[in-house]
Amino acid sequence: MDIDGTLIELAERPDEVVVSTGLPETLNRLSQRLDGAVALVTGRRLDDIDRLLGRLPIAAAGQHGLERRDAAGHRTTHAVDRTLMATIADRLQGFAAGHPGTEVEDKGLTVALHYRRAPDAEEAARRFVKEALRGVGDALSLHDGKKVLEVKPFGVDKGTAVREMMAAPPFAGRTPVFIGDDVTDEDGFAAVNDLDGISIEVGYREPTVARYRIADVDATLALLASLADRNGEGSMTDRGI
């Protein structure tokens, strides 16, 4: 599952989100019911996940799959040119300094330029980021999100994270289910579809390759709570997906 816009409502700034009471416990119970086969796949850093949800004993992929942690706590990180990422982050900081309301989120392996509080700056931000990436070739890629432009190394995404997780216990041999809301979740949807799994979009964004939809964050939380109930019965279709 993605986090922002899926398990937690979006906020004006990434550090202003509010975690619903009971969400960590629901995730913990769901993991126990599925023998540990639950994972969070997000653009946030792994450390941010812990700050928001506590140190849950479940698997997680941060920064769109560039860093992963299994349920036992073992961490792996894809190789990244950190000097290049720092250079791009500095350039974006220069843009933000001249455009009030925009904000740079430097996550080390990726960097994001948020313009939720300055929607009129979107066009200028997009032009600036594209210019900042000129000359880096295929090393980095630009990705749209909800009022955010994210720069990350090319070749690793949420689909990569899903495939890596599905290749090892406790996920191997199971039917994958991926729940997300944003453009970057499309890679996860596509990977799950290729694996004959269940892809679920939160909300009604188009276009999408997700095969199912669920209305909003509240509906997602209700679904997870129902699935986490060991006495719960019925299929996902029964629960309105």
Active-site annotation, residues: 2
Question: How far is 210 from 63, CA to CA, in rounded Å?
Answer: 21
Whether residue 124 contacts residue 112, with contact meaning beta carbons closer than 8 Å, is answered with no
How far is it between the farthest Cα atoms of the chain? 57
- Please report how the helices 186-194 and 158-166 are oriented relative to each other, as an axis angle in degrees rounded to 10: 30
**To the nearest 10°, the Cα dihedral for 82, 129, 119, 124?**
150
- Would you give the end-to-end CA distance of the chain in angstroms? 15
Residue 34's nearest CA partner among 227, 165, 237, 240 is: 227
Between CA 77 and CA 75 the distance in angstroms is 7
The number of beta carbons lying within 10 Å of the beta carbon of residue 118 is 17
CA distance 148 to 150: 6
